[in-house]
Amino acid sequence: MNITILGTGFAALTAIKQTRKHAPKATITVISPKEEMLYYPSLIWIPSGLRKGDDLRVNLHNFFNRQNVQFVEGSVQNVIHSGRTVVTEDGEYHNDGLIIATGGRFIKKLPGIEYAITPCEGIPAAEKIRDRIDGMSGGTIAIGFGGNPNEPSAMRGGPMFEFLFGIDNLLRKQGRRDKFKIVFFNPAPEPGKRLGSKVPANLTKIMTKQGIELHLGHKMIGFEEKLVKTEGGEFSADLILFMPGMTGPLWLADSELPKSAGGMISADMNAKVEGYDNVYVAGDAGSFPGPDWQAKQAHAADLQAVAASKNLVKSLNGQSDFEPFKHELFCIVDTLKHGILIRRTEKGATLLPPCRVLHYAKRAFEWLYLRQYR
Ligand SMILES: Cc1cc2nc3c(=O)[nH]c(=O)nc-3n(C[C@H](O)[C@H](O)[C@H](O)COP(=O)(O)OP(=O)(O)OC[C@H]3O[C@@H](n4cnc5c(N)ncnc54)[C@H](O)[C@@H]3O)c2cc1C
């Protein structure tokens, strides 16, 4: 049994562990540009110095040895022959079963988007925010996010609230909050609604209490060097942080694989790619059926990867008792001082108000999660 897994992010690493568990004798090949994982959730702590870039990079060499995995350093360019061949810049790789976990990318179409920092792009972007804030003696910081109208789940709202509250608290800690105006902007009138019906009111209450100005419910037009432009007016800003909506990975654009309206790989509730035998997708790269509050989250990526691995091995073993993945939204929105726990399942939504312990719980979770890969 020759199984190939694409990527080394949350979904791919969970898929490796689960595949090895269910198919101890399988040959597992992993293809990704680097033998490294990047722990995105802690990017929010780079501007304050709570984390450095190197804290978030995990070298996977030992983990791959432990899991008896062959690592191929390369970038996938296409998947052909009904999924049985993966094309990279250096050659083609054959498989009996494939799990795609190459993540998504951000839609950088808005005019002037180059004037905004896209914080979730990685360590250099988060370090740029840190350096820009360090170099400012005052001014306006504008923070916002957009979506993908064709893929409602493809937005990164939670992390942007974390950057917002984190920067507010950082400036307070430094005793210079009064020199800054912070504006939160969003095309939705009630941002955060996907996290639960009570979430927008709670977040707005916190923002108002912290003196954060709101510019909500106006479609984005674009940016200039020091300007945020929306259909509801424009405002000036010295530093602009903006997270556009997400779409599928770049390599997918020319591929024969089925794509959703939003540009992600179309899969079913078992994480199987529509119409393709023994081809599965997990994480941000996929578009899955389910509730309208589904989110592009590491937690969801892990749940999808568990189902993808189990179902792929079952299929290769000739079984057909496939298991759908569980829909659950779970996150701690961190403010640098507190954490706000948000959980949503088919049964309902839970929101725990800001609490100091949850900030430490998020830090402890990072340590526990990464320990398995170090
Ligand atoms: C600032 C921030 C905070 C977040 N906070 C949370 C949180 O608190 N909780 C939570 O659950 N989620 C959080 N998320 C979301 C979470 O990080 C993502 O949903 C998660 O990373 C998705 O996992 P993935 O494996 O699908 O993709 P990724 O983690 O993006 O991994 C994709 C992998 O594919 C590789 N790859 C890319 N292109 C190719 C190619 N062509 N060929 C081969 N390999 C390729 C990449 O190198 C990478 O290894 C946060 C995200 C950000 C940015």
Helix H, strand E, coil C: the string for the chain is CEEEEECCCHHHHHHHHHHHHHCCCCEEEEEECCCEEECHHHHHHCCCCCCCHHHHEEECHHHHHHCCEEEEECCEEEEEHHHCEEEECCEEEECCEEEECCCCEECCCCCCHHHCECHHHCHHHHHHHHHHHHCCCCEEEEEEECCECCECCCCCHHHHHHHHHHHHHHHHHCCCHHHEEEEEEECCCCCCHHHCCCHHHHHHHHHHHCCCEEEECCCEEEEECCEEEECCEEEECCEEEEECCEECCHHHHHCCCCECCCCCEEECCCCEECCCCCEEECHHHEECCCCCCCCCCHHHHHHHHHHHHHHHHHHHCCCCCCCCCCCCEEEEEECCCCEEEEEEECCEEEEEEEEHHHHHHHHHHHHHHHHCCC
In a domain, 51, yes or no: yes
Q: Which atom of ligand 1 is nearest to the CA of 76?
A: 42
Same-domain check for residues 74 and 196:
no
| Domain termination residue (choose one: 224, 245, 266) | 245
| Sign, CA torsion 370/126/250/57 | negative
CA distances from 138 to 134, 162, 176, 227 (A): 10, 21, 8, 16
Contact 182, 213 (CB under 8 A): yes
Same-domain check for residues 175 and 241:
yes
In a domain, 81, yes or no: yes
In a domain, 296, yes or no: yes
Same-domain check for residues 115 and 188:
yes
Q: Whose CA is nearest to atom 35 of ligand 1?
A: 7
From 6, 60, 102, mutation site for ligand 1 pocket: most ligand atoms within 8 A of C-beta: 102
Q: Whose CA is nearest to atom 11 of ligand 1?
A: 298
- The CA distance from 151 to 182, in Å, is 29
| Domain termination residue (choose one: 288, 316, 344) | 316
Q: Assess whether the C-beta atom of 47 lies below 6 angstroms from ligand 1.
A: no
Q: What is the pLDDT of residue 99?
A: 99
Q: Whose CA is nearest to atom 15 of ligand 1?
A: 297
Q: What is the pLDDT of residue 332?
A: 96
**Angle of helix 199-209 relative to helix 157-173, nearest 10 degrees?**
20
Q: Assess whether the C-beta atom of 78 lies below 6 angstroms from ligand 1.
A: no
Does the pLDDT of residue 193 top 90, yes or no?
no
Q: Which atom of ligand 1 is nearest to the CA of 88?
A: 42
Q: What is the pLDDT of residue 291?
A: 94
Same-domain check for residues 33 and 124:
no
Q: Assess whether the C-beta atom of 101 lies below 6 angstroms from ligand 1.
A: yes
In a domain, 342, yes or no: no
Q: What is the pLDDT of residue 194?
A: 80
Q: How confident is the model over 60-90, as pLDDT tens digits?
A: 999 999 999 999 999 999 999 999 999 999 9
- Averaged pLDDT, 186-193: 91
Q: Assess whether the C-beta atom of 168 lies below 6 angstroms from ligand 1.
A: no
Q: Which atom of ligand 1 is nearest to the CA of 102?
A: 34
Least reliable range by pLDDT among 11-15, 98-102, 263-267, 348-352: 348-352
- The CA distance from 356 to 312, in Å, is 42
Q: What is the pLDDT of residue 31?
A: 98
Query: Residue 225 — very low, low, confident or very high, per pLDDT cuts 50/70/90?
Result: very high
Does the pLDDT of residue 301 top 90, yes or no?
yes
Does the pLDDT of residue 131 top 90, yes or no?
yes
Same-domain check for residues 131 and 235:
yes
Q: Assess whether the C-beta atom of 296 lies below 6 angstroms from ligand 1.
A: yes
| Sign, CA torsion 280/286/291/293 | positive
Which residue carries 């969003």 as its tokens? 186
Mean model confidence pLDDT for the chain: 96
Q: What percent of the chain has pLDDT over 70?
A: 100
Same-domain check for residues 282 and 173:
no
In a domain, 373, yes or no: no
Same-domain check for residues 163 and 228:
yes
- The CA distance from 322 to 28, in Å, is 21
Does the pLDDT of residue 209 top 90, yes or no?
yes
Q: Whose CA is nearest to atom 27 of ligand 1?
A: 103
Q: What is the pLDDT of residue 120?
A: 85
Q: How many domains does the chain have?
A: 2
Contact 307, 325 (CB under 8 A): yes
Query: Residue 199 — very low, low, confident or very high, per pLDDT cuts 50/70/90?
Result: confident
- Averaged pLDDT, 239-259: 95
Same-domain check for residues 158 and 190:
yes
Same-domain check for residues 65 and 142:
no
Same-domain check for residues 174 and 284:
no
Q: How confident is the model over 275-293, as pLDDT tens digits?
A: 999 999 999 999 999 999 9
Q: What is the pLDDT of residue 45?
A: 98
- The CA distance from 136 to 118, in Å, is 19
Output the six-digit token pair for 84. 């049985």
Q: What is the pLDDT of residue 361?
A: 98
Domain at 199, CATH number? 3.50.50.60
Q: What is the pLDDT of residue 195?
A: 80
Query: Residue 91 — very low, low, confident or very high, per pLDDT cuts 50/70/90?
Result: very high
Q: What is the pLDDT of residue 197?
A: 84
- Averaged pLDDT, 344-368: 95
Q: Whose CA is nearest to atom 16 of ligand 1?
A: 298
Q: What is the pLDDT of residue 196?
A: 82
Least reliable range by pLDDT among 157-171, 195-209, 280-294, 346-360: 195-209
- The CA distance from 65 to 41, in Å, is 26
Least reliable range by pLDDT among 150-154, 256-260, 302-306: 150-154
Q: Assess whether the C-beta atom of 44 lies below 6 angstroms from ligand 1.
A: yes
| Domain termination residue (choose one: 316, 346, 365) | 316
Domain ranges, residue 284? 2-104+248-316
- Averaged pLDDT, 214-220: 96
In a domain, 142, yes or no: yes
CA of residue 10 to ligand 1 center, whole Å: 6
Same-domain check for residues 38 and 146:
no
Same-domain check for residues 131 and 258:
no
Query: Residue 192 — very low, low, confident or very high, per pLDDT cuts 50/70/90?
Result: confident
Query: Residue 144 — very low, low, confident or very high, per pLDDT cuts 50/70/90?
Result: very high
- The CA distance from 327 to 331, in Å, is 13
In a domain, 326, yes or no: no
In a domain, 83, yes or no: yes
